[in-house]
Structure 1
């Protein structure tokens, strides 16, 4: 599949934003995170800013971005539409939670309820995003039991690493959040390796023979369907060399998982200023690495429509 940067950025930014929002909603409501004015303003501002930036970026991949609103009407049958509806609904309790935290200086009572609802909305929205890809049967690499959990794990991972960096920066560090961010990073790494192993061993049953019902012989094209590249080949016939894929996998592992895990582990033993620097570096490296990982998520996927073009 064609890895358009707008969609790559969308999945990375919204995943981190929703993960951070969910953690702030739950931990803030439970009083684990203090109701500090600047922490609430910066933390919720960063979460909602990443979500908004990701959603706006996704419209850049549409042929007619001004008609994006029409997607909301298909929520009965489309996971993309359900994602749009869920994202809008989530903003309501998130804004109420932010108002209570920032303007009233409290995260208990009705503010805690709003935070919990925002966390539920964020989780549901991430699930709908994952289902957009997991429900696509023509793409075997996505239509598996690995796709949806990956979106949830990566959201929790990037969100917890961002939250840890924020808490460290505001001098209200939590050992529990630091440990959570490290464990989530290791879990994300393990899940990604398992996904790659599954995809590399995947045997796609659909071939030109099965598609035409001529399973007894060898089907081949006598003449190419087109004399030049068309929309389908551009969007669904993207190909990446095996050596480039292997190199990018190593880069993704180093930036998104290995380096952040080392920095977070070292942060346990560093004094406050250095611990903050290590935590912020882990968040920045991880976000960069996830852009590479998401790019590969699209580039390595193969759509069965390319069988028509002899691929």
Structure 2
């Protein structure tokens, strides 16, 4: 798949934002007043910023509102409904700690659940696609949820939780790469199934369907070199998991230094997530590529 910057920003930033909103809904960290306002502002900036970035990938952004009406059949529509509900509920919940120095646990739990549901619905937009075997596996929603929870815990300053969640999310990422690399072959899709001529014998391409490019080739056929892919995996894993974990477990003297290292851990994880998210799209092999002899 073509790794569009708008979709990478959307999946990266919104995951962080809704992950932080999840922990804020649980009362973590236990803050109030101006400090609480800063935490909620960061969460909303990331979540809303990510959602706005996604509209740049739409052919007709002005029709985005119509997506909300298809919630019965569309995961994209369900994502939109969950996102709006989560932002509204968490906005109501934020009034308590920010202005009234109090919390409303029930509203917070509802908002936390909706925040996590938003991340899940986002993941299902990709998981449902049988035409992209690498995405069409149970590890895809687990990957999205793992990243959101680990990133949210980091932003919320929950070091113990963040350490455990980073280890879990890192393990899911490794499992996703291992399973995803075999998914296309395991799907049984071939040039024969792509053309519908497989029952007549071995099918091979004599000539490409056309000499120029088209929308399908631009959007659904992106080939990334194996060596390039492996290097990016190492960089993404190191920045997203190894370095943040190291910074969390190493003892640092002084509160200021500890806060600085925590900020570095957050920024490193964000960079790592962006890198692995680029790979998430770049390595995704759409079966339409078989028809054009690209797989």
Fold shared by both chains (TM-score > 0.5) = yes
Q: In 1, distance between residues paired with 2:6 and 2:116? A: 22
- 1:35–1:106: 8 Å Cα contact kept in structure 2? no
1:301 aligns with 2:294: no
| Deviation, structure 1 residue 269 | 4.7
- 2:18–2:43: 8 Å Cα contact kept in structure 1? yes
The 1:159–1:120 alpha-carbon spacing in structure 2 relative to 1, beyond 3 Å, is same
Q: In 1, distance between residues paired with 2:33 and 2:15? A: 25
Name the structure 1 match of 2:228: 244
Report the TM-score when normalising by structure 2. 0.95
| Deviation, structure 1 residue 80 | 0.5
Name the structure 1 match of 2:72: 76
Matches within 5 A, 1:111-122: 111-122=104-115
Aligned-residue Cα RMSD (Å) equals: 1.3
Matches within 5 A, 1:22-37: 22-28=22-28, 33-37=29-33
Name the structure 2 match of 1:271: 254
Q: 1:196 aligns with which of 168, 177, 185?
A: 177
1:284-305 alpha-carbon deviations (Å, 9 max, x no partner)? 1100110001000000000011
- 2:134–2:181: 8 Å Cα contact kept in structure 1? no
Q: 2:210 aligns with which of 203, 207, 226?
A: 226
Q: In 2, distance between residues paired with 1:199 and 1:123? A: 24
Q: In 2, distance between residues paired with 1:188 and 1:95? A: 28
Matches within 5 A, 1:280-291: 280-291=263-274
Q: In 1, distance between residues paired with 2:198 and 2:182? A: 25
| Deviation, structure 1 residue 209 | 1.5
- 1:13–1:54: 8 Å Cα contact kept in structure 2? yes
| Deviation, structure 1 residue 17 | 0.6
Matches within 5 A, 1:77-156: 77-107=73-103, 111-156=104-149
| Deviation, structure 1 residue 27 | 2.5
The 1:213–1:227 alpha-carbon spacing in structure 2 relative to 1, beyond 3 Å, is closer
Q: In 2, distance between residues paired with 1:208 and 1:240? A: 20
Which stretches in structure 1 are left out of the alignment for 5+ residues?
Answer: 165-176
| Deviation, structure 1 residue 147 | 0.4
| Deviation, structure 1 residue 222 | 2.9
Q: In 2, distance between residues paired with 1:4 and 1:81? A: 20
Which stretches in structure 2 are left out of the alignment for 5+ residues?
Answer: none
Q: In 1, distance between residues paired with 2:34 and 2:223? A: 46
| Deviation, structure 1 residue 44 | 0.7
| Deviation, structure 1 residue 216 | 5.1
Q: In 1, distance between residues paired with 2:127 and 2:56? A: 22
Q: In 2, distance between residues paired with 1:215 and 1:301? A: 27
Q: In 1, distance between residues paired with 2:252 and 2:52? A: 40
- 1:141–1:199: 8 Å Cα contact kept in structure 2? yes
1:120-145 alpha-carbon deviations (Å, 9 max, x no partner)? 11011111011111111110000001
Q: In 1, distance between residues paired with 2:162 and 2:34? A: 22
- 1:157–1:188: 8 Å Cα contact kept in structure 2? yes
Deviates more, 1:204-213 or 1:132-141: 204-213
- How many residues are treated as equivalent by the alignment? 291
| Deviation, structure 1 residue 92 | 1.6
Q: Which runs of 4+ in 1 moved over 6 A?
A: none
| Deviation, structure 1 residue 105 | 1.4
1:59 aligns with 2:63: no
| Deviation, structure 1 residue 38 | 2.0
